[in-house]
Amino acid sequence: MSTLTQQEFVLGFFEAAPATYSNLRQLGKESFYAQGLPALKAEEYKFTPIAKKLEMSLTDLSPTKSIQINAERVKSALFAGFKGTVLVFSNGAYLPEHSTSTEGISVRLLSENESTPLGSIAKADKDPFVALNQATFSDGLHISLEKNKELDSPILLLQFHQAQGGQVISPRIWIEAGDFSKATFIDYPISLDDAPYFVNKVVEIKGGINANLTYHSLQQEHNQVIAVSNLVTDIQKDSQFTSTQITLSGDMVRNNLTLNLLGSNSVGNMYGIYLLNGKTHVDNHTNVDHTIPHAESNELYKGILTDQSRGVFNGKIFVRQIAQKTNAFQQNNNILLSEDAIINTKPQLEIWADDVKCSHGCTVGQLDEEAQFYLQARGIDKTTAKGLLLYAFAGEVLDKIEVDSLRNHIVAQIQERLGSKF
Amino acid sequence: MLSIKNLHASIEGTPILRGINLEIKAGEVHAIMGPNGSGKSTLASVLAGREEYEVTEGEVVFQGKELLELSPEDRAREGVFLAFQYPIEIPGVSTTNFLRTALNQVREYRGLEPLDAVKFLSLMKEKMALVEIDQKLLSRSLNEGFSGGEKKRNEIFQMAMLEPVLSILDETDSGLDIDALRIVSNGVNKLKSEKTATIVVTHYQRLLEYIVPDFVHVLYKGRIVKSGTKELALELEEKGYDWIKEEVDSTATV
Ligand SMILES: Nc1ncnc2c1ncn2[C@@H]1O[C@H](COP(=O)(O)OP(=O)(O)OP(=O)(O)O)[C@@H](O)[C@H]1O
Ligand SMILES: [Mg+2]
- The secondary structure of chain A in percent helix, strand, coil, rounded to multiples of 5, reads 25, 40, 40
pLDDT for the residue numbered A11: 75
Residues B2-44 pLDDT 10s: 999 999 999 999 999 999 999 999 999 999 999 999 999 999 9
- The reported pLDDT for the residue numbered A8 is 67
What is the helix (H) or strand (E) element at residue A386, kind and residue range? helix A382-398
When pLDDT is cut at 50, 70 and 90, the band that residue A2 belongs to is: very low
Taking 60 as the threshold, does the pLDDT of residue A113 lie above it? yes
The yes-or-no verdict on residue A111 having pLDDT over 70 is yes
Query: Looking at the partner chain, which of A368, A376, A391 has a beta carbon nearest the beta carbon of B73?
Result: A376
Rounded percentage of chain A residues whose pLDDT exceeds 90: 86
Ligand 1 atom at minimal distance to the Cα of residue B222: 14
CA distance A193 to A210: 42
Amino acid in position A302: K
Q: Could A377 and B98 be called an inter-chain contact, meaning their C-beta atoms sit closer than 8 Å?
A: no
Task: Kindly tell me the sign of the dihedral angle through the C-alpha atoms of A86, A90, A91, A93.
Answer: negative
Instruction: Using an 8 Å CB-CB cutoff, list chain A residues near B76.
Output: 376-379
Q: A376 and B84 in contact by Cβ < 8 A?
A: no
Q: Which ligand is nearest to the CA of B204?
A: 1
pLDDT over threshold 60, residue A422:
no
| Residue B237 pLDDT | 85
Look at A61-65, A243-247, B32-36, B99-103 and tell me which has the smallest mean pLDDT: A61-65
Give chain B's mean pLDDT: 92
CA A131 – CA A24 distance, rounded (Å): 10
**pLDDT tens digits, one per residue of A348-395:** 999 999 999 999 999 999 999 999 999 999 999 999 999 999 989 999
Q: Indicate if the pLDDT at residue B246 is higher than 50.
A: yes
What percent of chain A stands above pLDDT 70?
Answer: 97
Pocket test for ligand 1, best of B16, B43, B168 (most atoms within 8 A of CB): B16
Can you tell me the ipTM of this complex? 0.95
Q: Is the pLDDT of residue A4 over 50?
A: no
pLDDT of amino acid A190 = 97
- The pLDDT score that the predictor gives to residue A7 is 66
CB-nearest to B101 from A371, A373, A384 is: A384
Give tens-digit pLDDT for B155-206.
Answer: 999 999 999 999 999 999 888 888 889 999 998 999 899 999 999 999 888 8
Pairing between strand A182-191 and A226-235?
A: unpaired
Does residue A291 surpass a pLDDT of 70? yes
Given a contact cutoff of 8 angstroms between Cβ atoms, the answer to whether B138 and B124 are in contact is yes
pLDDT tens, residue by residue, A207-253: 999 999 999 999 999 999 999 999 999 999 999 999 999 999 999 99
- Residue B36 Cβ < 6 Å to ligand 1: yes
Output the CA B37–ligand 1 centroid distance in Å: 5
Instruction: Give the mean pLDDT of A20-36.
Output: 93
pLDDT at A420 over 50: no
User: Nearest C-alpha of chain B: how many angstroms from A370?
Assistant: 8
Query: How close A410 comes to chain B (CA, Å)?
Result: 17
- pLDDT, greater one: A118 or B239: A118
- Contact residues, chain A, for B50 at CB < 8 Å: 373
Helix (H) or strand (E) holding B216: strand B215-220
Q: In terms of CA atoms, which chain B residue is nearest residue A394?
A: B92
Model pTM score: 0.88
> Ligand 1 pocket, B16 CB below 6 A?
yes
- Residue A27: helix, strand or coil by DSSP? helix
- Model confidence pLDDT, tens digit, residues A239-289: 999 999 999 999 999 999 999 999 999 999 999 999 999 999 999 999 999
Residue of A nearest to B90 (CA): A371
How close is the Cα of B171 to the center of ligand 2, in Å?
7
CA–CA distance, B141 with B17 (Å, rounded to integer) = 34
The residue whose CA has the least distance to atom 28 of ligand 1 is B37
pLDDT band at B253 (very low <50, low <70, confident <90, very high): low
Order of strands across the sheet with A155-161?
A93-94, A85-90, A155-161, A182-191, A212-219, A240-247, A267-276, A296-305, A326-336, A356-365
> Does the pLDDT value for residue A1 go beyond 90?
no
What's the CA gap between A291 and A334, in Å, rounded?
30
Q: In a mutational test of the pocket of ligand 1, which residue from B10, B12, B33, B38 has the highest number of ligand atoms less than 8 Å from its CB?
A: B38
Examine the pLDDT at A94 and tell me if it is beyond 80: yes
**Distance of alpha carbon A66 from alpha carbon A77, whole angstroms:** 18
User: What percent of chain B clears pLDDT 70, i.e. is strictly above it?
Assistant: 99
Give dist(CA B163, CA A177) in Å, integer: 58
Q: Which atom of ligand 1 is nearest to the CA of B43?
A: 18
Alpha helices in chain B (DSSP H): 40-48, 72-78, 95-109, 117-131, 135-138, 148-162, 178-191, 205-210, 230-239, 242-252
Q: Which residues of A touch B84 (CB under 8 A)?
A: 374, 377
Choosing from B8, B17, B33, B36 the residue with most ligand 1 atoms within 8 A of its CB, the one to mutate for a pocket test is B36
| Amino acid identity, position A312 | V
- For ligand 1, whether the C-beta of B37 sits within 6 Å is yes
Closest residue by Cα to residue A291 from A323, A254, A267: A323
The stretch B53-71 carries a mean pLDDT of 95
A304 alpha carbon – ligand 2 mean position (Å): 34
pLDDT at B252 (0 to 100): 62
Closest partner residue to B82 among A371, A377, A380, by Cβ? Answer: A377
Nearest by CB: B91 against A378, A381, A392: A392
- The overall average pLDDT reported for chain A is 93
Find the farthest-apart pair of alpha carbons in chain B and give their distance in angstroms, rounded.
Answer: 64
Do the beta carbons of residue B15 and residue B74 sit within 8 Å? no
Of A341, A339, A230, the closest CA to residue A280 belongs to: A341
The residue of chain B with its CA nearest to that of A376 is: B73
Q: Whose CA is nearest to atom 6 of ligand 1?
A: B11
Is B40 touching ligand 1 by the criterion CB < 6 Å? yes
pLDDT per position as a tens digit, A302-346: 999 999 999 999 999 999 999 999 999 999 999 999 999 999 999
CA B178, chain centre distance (Å):
20
Give the Cβ contact number of residue B56 at 10 Å: 13
Please report the pLDDT score of residue B245 as a whole number. Answer: 86
**What gap in Å lies between CA B139 and CA B160, rounded to an integer?**
17
